[in-house]
Amino acid sequence: MTSPHPIPDLSRLCVHTATTKPWDIETAMERYAKAGIAGITVWRDKLEGRDPETVGRQLADSGMEVVSLCRGGFFPALTAQKRQEAIDDNRRAIEEAASIGAPLIVLVCGAATGQSLEDSRSQIVDGIAAVLPEAESAGIKLAIEPLHPMYADDRSAINTMAQAHAACDRLDHPLVGIALDVYHVWWDDTLPDQIAKAGELDRLFAFHICDWMTPTSHLLTDRGLMGEGCIDVSGIRAMVKATGFTGFNEVEIFSTRWWESDQDEFLEKIKDAYLQHS
Ligand code: ZN
């Protein structure tokens, strides 16, 4: 006899710890696992004051897959000293990723006001190249996440999938690929081709989902749950799937509105929205 309510398939659902900002890492681990969520992406702020190795063991015990560590990057700067500090910080991120069992680091690549975007892009490529030896020895992938152009001034000089491809081309390394976040690239009319290209070149490393609210009340902290806004999440997911991508759908929602709500209920809504927009 078949059940009238088949068990929902959450095996490709991952939640970013930044999505449930009020929870510390221990609470997030416990509640996600209890809710049946299969994957977790850890934001570095949640590791502060903790031994990453210990957190790594707790994560392994949770039964969830550690999908990635967020985030590295922020390579461009006006001075060589600042650029070196960024490289050192990315080396620490690689160590942390290895300690918690994350196979990938998401890179928010950075931009420096006071210099051209072209210069910032070159510094991004140089910065990634500088940490590749450590990434190689730890076996950690580095995923360039193109950020929406509204962040081109100080968060990322890589704003389109095409620019992310260009950086990957310059680095030409199997550990360097792209993290596609629907929030940042949904508007791009070349998206289907860019996703197909990423699939062909084996560089589609991560897939982040959320939604774009209208009107958007804050540039950082007003993301929506899938279905609340104008992004065709199902359509983009279908393109991603068509490349053969079998990775996680990572729910990454920065939202003051949702952070103020009951986080357990929010988690249930995330599961529903994920299932509805597959
Ligand atoms: Zn993202």
Here the CATH number for the domain that contains residue 144 is 3.20.20.150
The neighbourhood of ligand 1, an ion, using CB within 5 A, equals 181, 208, 252
Diameter over CA atoms, the chain: 68
Helix, strand, coil percent values for the chain (each to nearest 5): 45, 20, 35
Tell how far the Cα of 257 is from the centroid of ligand 1, in angstroms: 18
Q: Is residue 170 part of a domain?
A: yes
Rounded (10°) CA dihedral 151, 204, 167, 76: 40
Q: Is residue 190 part of a domain?
A: yes
Tell how far the Cα of 106 is from the centroid of ligand 1, in angstroms: 8
Tell how far the Cα of 6 is from the centroid of ligand 1, in angstroms: 30
Ranges of residues in the chain whose predicted pLDDT is under 70: 1-6
pLDDT value of residue 277? 87
How many structural domains is the chain composed of? 1
Q: Are 242 and 191 in contact (CB under 8 A)?
A: no
Q: Is residue 253 part of a domain?
A: yes
Q: Is residue 1 part of a domain?
A: no
Tell how far the Cα of 40 is from the centroid of ligand 1, in angstroms: 13
* 188 phi-psi bin (left φ>0, alpha ψ -120 to 50, beta other): beta
CA distances from 4 to 8, 35, 183 (A): 12, 21, 35
In sequence order, the β-bridge partners of residue 107 are 72, 144
Place of tokens 């570095």: 44
Tell how far the Cα of 1 is from the centroid of ligand 1, in angstroms: 41
Cα distance between residue 258 and residue 62, in whole Å: 25
Q: Is residue 168 part of a domain?
A: yes
Q: Are 100 and 42 in contact (CB under 8 A)?
A: yes
Closest CA relative to residue 39, chosen from 175, 206, 185: 206
pLDDT value of residue 135? 98
Q: Which domain holds residue 194?
A: 13-276
Tell how far the Cα of 113 is from the centroid of ligand 1, in angstroms: 22
Written as six digits, the tokens of 252 are 């990454």
Q: Is residue 2 part of a domain?
A: no
pLDDT value of residue 162? 98
Tell how far the Cα of 114 is from the centroid of ligand 1, in angstroms: 26
Tell how far the Cα of 138 is from the centroid of ligand 1, in angstroms: 23
Q: Is residue 4 part of a domain?
A: no
Is the full-model pTM beyond 0.75?
A: yes
Tell how far the Cα of 3 is from the centroid of ligand 1, in angstroms: 36
Q: Which residues contact 266 (CB under 8 A, 6 or more apart)?
A: 20, 258
Cis (ω within 30 of 0) for the bond into 6?
A: no
